[in-house]
Amino acid sequence: MRFYPLFFRAAFSWMDAERAHRIGYGAIRAVHGVGLGRVLGALSAPGPELRTSVFGVEFPSPFGLAAGFDKEGRCIEALAELGFGHIEVGTVTGQAQPGNPRPRLFRLIKDRAVVNRMGFNNDGAEAVAPRIAAARASLEERYGTHRPIIGINIGKTKVVELEDAADDYRASARALAPFADYLVVNVSSPNTPGLRLLQSVETLRPLLEAVREESTSAAGRRVPLLVKIAPDLADSDIDDVARLAVDLGLEGIIATNTTIGREGLESDSAAVEACGAGGLSGAPLKARSLEVLRRLASMAGDRLALVSVGGVETAADVRERLAAGASLVQGYTAFLYEGPFWAASVNRGLTKAAPVTTGTGRA
């Protein structure tokens, strides 16, 4: 019998979801702060057989934590001790912002899903950058060349107009790129008004070109650059983004963000309606996320690294995504339901099964 799901139902299922998240987040940081994280790290570290190289970066495991859990870079070292091969920080914006009014995070437990309309609440790029720099230095000292990888996910500040979005993303890239192992342009959250309009190739091209230019200049090196897309894009738009990413020489695509759809849920319709607007993540997203991955793989082959996220819960899910063409796999929502030993469990499952085979992506 697994302990954490029982603990979750007793301790967290009745609690406001954002409050539960803050408590869990704080507990993970506290365990690290008193030194117990080193014990966890020794037990949870991925075995050397899981190491994989993607866009020239060596990841300790193909399985990592998606953006959204650690929005401000305060928990990177503690999360690394739980066994994640990479931690994607963010979404970080050019300016600090409080996000949307509360309540803004809801669970649909029957569906193992979450609805959020957080709205990119964070301290802003200039404040987050030194935290990431310190965490990266600490990980390098502790783990050496096989350290967990830090991705940074950047998005648009809400008060910035769409026509000024490129300058806003530039500001984030300027502050954060020097400390990023890879950088992600998020144009797919449903919780910032107008943001998804930037997924149109006509507006996406100059935005990605601006971030590439700024990140290279700020870091003094080519920082791997990826774009994160929504599952709600039409197939033709997915194809267009794939062609654009290849044309621009991006390192990869992250597929997918949350969905605005509410189809096929088991939860009571009144409970779903009570959640209101926002992005749905978790198990209901699994089929569409896998479908988008397969489409991108057929379009891009090994010209792009594909990072698959959406409905990932088990080692079997990770293997399915890798077999379908993913170079890396991320999870987030299942972390809330499975608890702190989730990543270690996934890594053990990957190790016990046949050798891991990943999509090659860009060298």
Instruction: State yes or no: 122 annotated in a binding site.
Output: no
Check: CB of residue 359 under 8 Å from CB of residue 302.
yes
Instruction: State yes or no: 153 annotated in a binding site.
Output: yes
Instruction: State yes or no: 337 annotated in a binding site.
Output: no
Check: CB of residue 293 under 8 Å from CB of residue 321.
yes
d(CA 104, CA 97): 15
d(CA 99, CA 157): 10
Catalytic entry in 44, 61, 172, 189: 189
Instruction: State yes or no: 119 annotated in a binding site.
Output: yes
Instruction: State yes or no: 317 annotated in a binding site.
Output: no
Instruction: State yes or no: 191 annotated in a binding site.
Output: yes
* Angle between helix 165-176 and 201-219 (nearest 10): 30
Instruction: State yes or no: 347 annotated in a binding site.
Output: no
Q: Residue 251's closest CA among 171, 181, 322?
A: 181
Check: CB of residue 189 under 8 Å from CB of residue 120.
yes
Instruction: State yes or no: 286 annotated in a binding site.
Output: no
172 assigned to active site? no
Q: Please, where are the H alpha helices in 125-187?
A: 125-143, 165-176
Instruction: State yes or no: 311 annotated in a binding site.
Output: yes
> 193 to each of 40, 229, 323, 327, how far by Cα in Å?
40, 16, 36, 31
Instruction: State yes or no: 228 annotated in a binding site.
Output: yes
Instruction: State yes or no: 117 annotated in a binding site.
Output: yes
Report the DSSP beta bridge partners of residue 150. 87
Instruction: State yes or no: 68 annotated in a binding site.
Output: yes
Which residue shows structure tokens 């310190």?
Answer: 134
Instruction: State yes or no: 156 annotated in a binding site.
Output: no
d(CA 203, CA 181): 25
Say which amino acid occupies 157: T
215 token code pair: 């990140």
Instruction: State yes or no: 165 annotated in a binding site.
Output: no
d(CA 12, CA 7): 8
d(CA 222, CA 217): 9
Instruction: State yes or no: 25 annotated in a binding site.
Output: no
Instruction: State yes or no: 321 annotated in a binding site.
Output: no
3-class SS at 290? helix
What positions carry a catalytic annotation? 189
Residues making up the binding site: 67-71, 91, 116-120, 153, 186, 191, 228, 256-258, 282, 311, 332-333
Please enumerate, by residue number, every residue annotated as part of a binding site for FMN: 67-71, 91, 153, 186, 228, 256, 282, 311, 332-333
List, as residue ranges, the binding site for substrate.
71, 116-120, 186, 191, 257-258
